[in-house]
Structure 1
Amino acid sequence: MPSESSLTAAPRARTLLNKVPEITLWFWVIKILCTTVGESFADWINMTLGVGLTNTALIFTAVLAAVLFAQMRLDRYVPFVYWLTVVVVSITGTLYTDILTDSQGVPLWISTTVFSVLLAIVFAIWYAREHTLSIHSITSTPREAFYWLAVLVTFALGTATGDWTLDLTGWGPGKSVLLPAALIATVVVAWRLGGQPVLAFWLAYILTRPLGANIGDWLGVPKSEQGLGLGTAVTSVIFLVAIGATVLYLSLSKADVISEAETAETAGVRGADPIRERLALAIYAVAAIVTAVLLYHASQQPHAALASEGEGGGSAANNIHLTPAQAVAKFPASDIAALKAIVDDTLTKVNAGDQSGATKGAKELETTWDDDQSKLQPKDDKAWTYLDGQIDDVLNAIRDAKPDTATEKKTLTTLSTSLAG
């Protein structure tokens, strides 16, 4: 251990205690909780409050800058600040992927590829500069900066990969929990058999994002969409309370504080066995092949693909990604303006709690859209199909046996954004 005087004289980047928690079961529990509440809370602000995707992303980018500043000003791991940062990074990374998909029309497979390459670049630069990717070595400002950048990209990558999987398979939110859960279990088995711990950590970290998001969707979406129907607000409250209780426990117990003696040179590499590490890599390769075959098989089965998070459109429309400008470019402005007026009026009624008025608005929307089909569809069949899917989502949400206000607002806001051009 360095002397007190040497600590005083050293630069700040060399005097930090480890800035992240020990990787225990508590770490993974609270990581999944943070991911779930991040997904639900972002949906609540974006759709229920009607803030909109871009404005929500701007808000959380500013919040992220503030919490990162607070986190990086500390000289040691503080549970409340650290996990608040994880929640905000979770929300922000998710929103960045949603903007690419919903506002810019970038296909999910491209987003997945781009974020995978970006993560590889972050890791390469991090390792080239610091010679380690171990989280037991986050003891300087540069290392912490690389760490949070990597975490942000893993959330964006996990969002894109999870949504792409749902698009390919059409699985409901409950069923979709099983794949990331099984892959995480595979990572745990490979690690227990002697797999490289840093690789195992980052693989699991990426996979917990789609797992947590799918759990949030399963709890929050209406029963008519194969969920439990708790709603985004209730789901957010439940998980925020669970996070608060867990963070309080960790703050008092210090159960996840990394010992100062466990340095980057010793953490995670003791007793490394090259043969066991190669066996773990083989397990990962087999898991990747099996997953690819499963997804290909599921994609070939008849199904109505589910909309990605924040993305409107049902059935065939889910395979179409258009910007708002592209969705209305070839249609008469007067027809689109009339449709948008109906949608906005219906949204106003939903916000006011007037379900009867919303039902009448849905009927007017359906009638107007059907009457315009013969005129609009020949002008741009792709855009017509895209908007038709979003309108179907609105009609299904409003006419559900037990309408969910959050879902009604979400589908109406998405459609209104598309019609705004």
Structure 2
Amino acid sequence: MQTRVFRAPKVPAVFLMFWVVKLLTTGIGETASDYLGTVSIPLAAVIGIGSFFTALYLQLKAQTYRPARYWVTVLGVALFGTMIADGPHVALGTPYWFDSIVYLVLLCALLTWWKRSEGTISVHSITTARRERFYWGVVLITFGLGTAVGDATAIDFGLGFTWSILLFAVLIVVPLGLWKLGLNVTVAFWSSYVLTRPLGASIADWLGKGTHDGGVGWGIGPVTLVGLLLFVVFVAYLTVTHSDVDHAAIHARDSTVREPDPVLDSRS
């Protein structure tokens, strides 16, 4: 199958700021979804679905990586992913642990399909339109899975927000330790990526929920607003400094390209 080829990966390099902004988007997605739900369920659906598909369309249509466009798309996925994770529980009454299993099966199936189709599921390989579509499909499912897992520990298993934060704070560094011991780096990355969602969402819920719900009572509206302000600051920093460009992947690709690419040349 023919597919567009990009000069560089359309995703950011994975370093400390990547994880900071990713955690921030998970918290914003959680509290923003809850806040919009208190205002109007139809409005929440319109904003959640509309922002997700609009941002994703613009991201997939683009030829290059841009921090603002990429992270706004992640934010749209965070908001929409929260809704699709809560939807089965609210509409069908299924427990969160059951939803977690369903999303885990879907994630494994999509990763397997991606691996068999492209030969790799590494984030450093997102240099074609087909791989990018796989990437965003996986990202969406990880948000649904992470949301369901976080709610399962806090609600179904009765751990509450505080213990859930401690649990996921420990679990998220486990893949790093296993990677140091020889675990495949791609497996370690996606494992940590999934865990950012329940960790970030548990922190946001703990800050925003009232004391009777196990939170500190700052309010989901103020927590969402502060999160959005920090998001703008961090993304602006990445836009100005270009510190999240995957230079290693660009260099590796350039060293293997020996002939001009007619698809790229025609678009340049």
1:262 to 229, 232, 252: 252
Corresponding residue of 2:108? 120
Q: Contact 1:221–1:232 (CA<8 Å) still a contact in 2? A: yes
The superposition leaves residues 136-182 of structure 1 with CA deviations (integer Å, 9 ceiling, x where unpaired) of 01011110000000000001111111111223431221222011110
Q: Contact 1:132–1:264 (CA<8 Å) still a contact in 2? A: no
Deviates more, 1:23-32 or 1:238-247: 238-247
Letter of the structure 2 residue corresponding to residue 155 of structure 1: F
Change (3 A) 1:114 1:12: closer
Q: Contact 2:172–2:192 (CA<8 Å) still a contact in 1? A: yes
Q: Contact 1:57–1:96 (CA<8 Å) still a contact in 2? A: no
Shift of 1:107: 2.4
Partner of 2:8: helix, strand, or coil?
A: coil
Partner of 1:177: helix, strand, or coil?
A: helix
How far, CA to CA, are the matches of 1:12 and 1:209 in structure 2?
31
Alignment of 1:122-161 (within 5 A): 122-161=110-149
Change (3 A) 1:72 1:218: same
Corresponding residue of 2:227? 239
Alignment of 1:2-151 (within 5 A): 13-47=4-38, 49=39, 51-52=40-41, 56-151=44-139
Aligned residues: 253
How far, CA to CA, are the matches of 2:6 and 2:196 in structure 1?
31
Shift of 1:134: 0.3
Aligned-pair identity (%): 38
Question: Stretches of 4+ moved more than 4 A in 1?
Answer: 263-266
Q: Contact 2:96–2:156 (CA<8 Å) still a contact in 1? A: no
Output the TM-score relative to the length of structure 1: 0.58
Shift of 1:57: 3.1
Q: Contact 1:96–1:156 (CA<8 Å) still a contact in 2? A: yes
Output the TM-score relative to the length of structure 2: 0.89
The superposition leaves residues 203-224 of structure 1 with CA deviations (integer Å, 9 ceiling, x where unpaired) of 0010000000000011101123
Q: Contact 2:95–2:156 (CA<8 Å) still a contact in 1? A: no
Gaps of 5+ in 2: 257-268
Q: Contact 1:38–1:90 (CA<8 Å) still a contact in 2? A: yes
Gaps of 5+ in 1: 1-10, 267-421
Partner of 1:14: helix, strand, or coil?
A: coil
Shift of 1:90: 0.9
How far, CA to CA, are the matches of 1:14 and 1:153 in structure 2?
25
Change (3 A) 1:116 1:73: same
* Structure of larger gyration radius: 1
Alignment of 1:389-404 (within 5 A): none
How far, CA to CA, are the matches of 1:106 and 1:219 in structure 2?
26
Letter of the structure 2 residue corresponding to residue 129 of structure 1: S
1:195 lines up with 2:183 in the alignment: yes
Corresponding residue of 1:350? none
The superposition leaves residues 259-280 of structure 1 with CA deviations (integer Å, 9 ceiling, x where unpaired) of 21134999xxxxxxxxxxxxxx
The CA RMSD over aligned residues, in Å, is 1.9
Q: Contact 1:173–1:227 (CA<8 Å) still a contact in 2? A: yes
How far, CA to CA, are the matches of 1:143 and 1:243 in structure 2?
27
Of the two structures, which has the highest relative contact order with CA contacts closer than 8 Å and spacing of 6 or more? 2
Shift of 1:58: 4.5
Alignment of 1:297-308 (within 5 A): none
Q: Contact 1:136–1:262 (CA<8 Å) still a contact in 2? A: no
Alignment of 1:405-420 (within 5 A): none
Corresponding residue of 1:406? none
The superposition leaves residues 82-117 of structure 1 with CA deviations (integer Å, 9 ceiling, x where unpaired) of 001111101111101111001121222321121111
Corresponding residue of 2:261? none
Shift of 1:12: 6.3
Letter of the structure 1 residue corresponding to residue 35 of structure 2: W
How far, CA to CA, are the matches of 2:155 and 2:224 in structure 1?
25
1:217 lines up with 2:205 in the alignment: yes
Shift of 1:56: 2.3
Shift of 1:77: 1.1
How far, CA to CA, are the matches of 1:176 and 1:264 in structure 2?
44
